[in-house]
Amino acid sequence: MTTAPLASVLFVCIHNAGRSQMAAGFLTHLAGDRVEVRSAGSMPGDQVNPSAVAAMAELGIDISDQKPKILTTEAVQASDYVITMGCGDACPYFPGKKYLDWKLDDPAGQGVEAVRPIRDEIKGLIEGLIAEIDTKAAQSQES
């Protein structure tokens, strides 16, 4: 029996090459199919940041097959959570969505040593997000 995901999450950063890709990788890895995961960028890069790929691989999470994608209105509309990471005003706003802005350093042009603390901060934020999604799902089942 397949069940619908508890929530849909869209991660947005400028290039969709570092922070948003690491966040999507963590959420997919930690929540599995319980949460639908998307990522996009307001000005997508050519490829995922190799240092981000290496930093995630150190934790056994492979994001090497991901490609930066352009942010679309449809992706925002289809998401319950829209989590921005420095995309500024490029992110469209729709009522009824939960918007979070995560203040994270940009890993662009950084080596893996500089990306590790960003990766670890993202992991903590993702764990908190999963806890929030699970709590909301449990509350809605009780009512």
Known active-site residue 143? no
Give strand pairing partners of 83.
Answer: 11, 100
Tokens of 122: 């993202």
Catalytic residue among 56, 83, 91, 115: 91
Known active-site residue 91? yes
Instruction: HSE, CB side, 13 Å, CA atoms: give it for residue 94.
Output: 13
Catalytic residue among 87, 112, 115, 133: 87
Known active-site residue 1? no
Catalytic residue among 6, 13, 27, 48: 13
**Burial (CB count <10 Å: 0-12, 13-18, 19+), residue 21:** buried
Q: Which residues are catalytic?
A: 13, 87, 91
